Amino acid sequence: MAEVSVRLVTADDEEVSRKLKQQFVLDIKNLAGVKTNNVNYKGDPVTIGGIVLAVVKSGALTKLIEIVGTYLSRDQRTSLVISTPSQSVTFSAATPQAFQESLKQVAEFFQRNLSADEVRPHRKVAILVANDEFEKSSLPPLSFTKNDLDALKEALEDDSCGFEVHPYYNANSLKIKTDLNKFCSTLTENDTMLFYYSGHGVSDGDNLYLVTQDTNFDVLEETSINTKDILERYLKKRAVFLKRKILILDCCYSGMALLPSGTRGGIADRKIDNKIASLEKSYGTYILTASSATEKAAEREKDGHGIFTKALLDGLDQRVRETLTIVDLNSYVCRTLTHTPQTPRMTALEQEGEPIVIANYKKTFEERSKQEAQRLTAKATILLNTYVELGFMLLELRTDTLRILEQNDVSKLRPQDRRFRNDVILFLEGTKSFAETFDGHPPRPEPARPEIGLITKTLVMDTAAELGSTRNVYFAPNIPEKKAINARVRTKMPDDEALLVLFDDTAFGSAKNCALIGETGIYWRQGSTAAEYIPWENAFNHYIEATGNTLRIGGKTWKLFNVAKQVAKFLMTLSAKSLKDFWQNGKPR
């Protein structure tokens, strides 16, 4: 989605034109499904008769085009100027044919630039700035800012982080500000912007300035980067809908970026001033600083980096959990720098929801789990073969034990098998005896899948009738229409498939998190995870189990915070009915 500026141009006298333009803007602002803004992508206020469209939902596109068409067809002298950061186009209606062509082009322009249904990956953009040469200031050169930039670029570009990195080494302030403005104006609300600086920081007592290659202390404001400008001018005004913003500063007195305007350095912690705290509510605007407002930030030769940045890099490289949030990273940095002269700071402005995820190490963890399973299996094979040869263990128990150890995704194991697997690991590590581990664990071969009859609408509805309606569970034909619509859209259930049972997993009844029973299988969606579907022929391949808020079915693990047990009970009852129907009536052809 791009930000689009729309401006009406008329040839009427000034008063008539002003009223017409005001009504044009008002009509668009009152349109449901449209988000507007009063500043353009350059941060300048729009003129009378102009408005900036930030998001237009697909359902509102038709009405938006109708409004534009109404004003465009008013007379031959009326025109419409539509602009994006990269182009500007004028549409007019000199003739009926020209009007139709113009309206068609307007519609295509809006659909191309404003469709909220456009599918594209969420962007994660990182602007990394490092300076070690300061031609117009008396500040000494630095030794390792280039290392900081290169190493952080490599870390953020790794698949686990997935950032689109734009490095600026010894760049001038104008270049950095211009590009920052460009990136902020093209990002959408679900994107992430990270700004990092490594270099000298100077303060005038009220503001922190990031020193660039062209910084001149005589004109400091014009030739450096004011940190509050980054927050206020760029991250707020130009990226007004952006929900994830991160500012990381590795420079002297960087904690000054957190102090209220007019406060002299010397007070390390104060409430953030209204100017900064007024940033739009979001999933987080996070500011991480290498030091307090009164401390210097150092670089260390043995590390080849700034002390703070070295801790950041180490934190990104730990990979001790599947996801690393900005809060996790800050916690690691603070622990690492506990006994240094620097006191790192972090502030989260108007945080909502979960902290921003910096890295996802799921692939790494999966590979680790696979390697660990292979290591355990190899070690156990040698040891257990010896016990079998000595007559201390049955071959069936040895085979069953190795089968359980080979499963690197332990979530697919039954609870008792997971407990047994943990006991075997302790045995292999020498902290549990043979008797403690294997007594009470007779061979348990994987149960064969029972023959299941055809799951029919009749069987589903019979199951529903037997269990009866409960809170958050709805059966056809008594499923509320709004819930059904929300659930179908979220789970991607086809419109031509009958919705038989709806399990609403939301707290307030929107049914946007849910499990659905259809004629062909089971549909599920929770939060921001992708929708999943299990056809009936695969639904009963594995055990059905509900543990807490986790449902295991068809080899998948689903989160359901309110209805996991209801879904499991329904499916187990349905499975039993299907099996009974099979033995009574024979397997359908």
Of the two residues 270 and 448, the one the predictor is more confident about is 448
Phi, then psi, of 99 in degrees rounded to 5:
-60, -45
- Greatest mean pLDDT among 10-24, 36-50, 323-337, 447-461 lies in 323-337
The answer for residues whose C-beta is within 8 angstroms of residue 288's C-beta and 6 or more apart is 246, 247, 248, 249, 326, 329, 330, 333, 344, 345, 346
pLDDT at 579: 63
Average pLDDT of the segment spanning 208-234:
86
Give the C-alpha separation, 416 to 283, whole Å.
Answer: 39
Give the C-alpha separation, 531 to 337, whole Å.
Answer: 42
Give the C-alpha separation, 351 to 362, whole Å.
Answer: 25
Give the C-alpha separation, 180 to 166, whole Å.
Answer: 10
- Identify the sign of the CA torsion 155, 159, 162, 166: positive
pLDDT of residue 532 exceeding 90: yes
Give the C-alpha separation, 53 to 68, whole Å.
Answer: 13
pLDDT tens sequence across 112-158? 666 544 444 578 899 999 998 887 777 888 999 999 999 999 999 98
Peptide bond into 477 cis (omega under 30): yes
**Token pair of 515, please?**
């499990």
Nearest CA to 306 out of 169, 131, 162, 125 is that of: 131
Q: What percent of the chain has pLDDT over 90?
A: 23
CATH of range 124-360; options 3.40.50.150, 3.40.50.1460, 3.30.450.20, 3.40.50.170:
3.40.50.1460
Give the C-alpha separation, 574 to 571, whole Å.
Answer: 5
Every domain of the chain with CATH number 3.40.50.1460 lies at 124-360
CB 548 within 8 A of CB 564: yes
Nearest CA to 584 out of 342, 576, 425 is that of: 576
DSSP string, 229-275: HIIIIIIIIITTT--EEEEEEESTTGGGGGSPTTPPTT----PPPHH
Q: For the CA atoms of the chain, what is the radius of gyration? A: 31
**Token pair of 107, please?**
């519609």
Amino acid type, 534: I
Q: Which helix (H) or strand (E) holds 367?
A: helix 362-389
Average pLDDT of the segment spanning 349-358:
72
Average pLDDT of the segment spanning 22-43:
68
pLDDT of residue 587 exceeding 60: no
pLDDT confidence bin for 542, thresholds 50/70/90: low
pLDDT tens sequence across 305-318? 999 999 999 999 87
Secondary structure in 3-state letters for 407-434: CCCHHHCCHHHHHHHHHHHHHHCCCCCH
CA 465 to chain centroid, in Å, comes to 40
pLDDT of residue 540 exceeding 70: yes
pLDDT tens sequence across 379-409? 899 888 888 877 778 888 888 899 888 887 7
DSSP string, 72-111: HTS-TT-EEEEEETTEEEEEE-SSHHHHHHHHHHHHHHHH
User: With 0-12 CB in 10 A as exposed, 13-18 as middle and 19+ as buried, what is 242?
Assistant: buried
Give the C-alpha separation, 511 to 503, whole Å.
Answer: 8
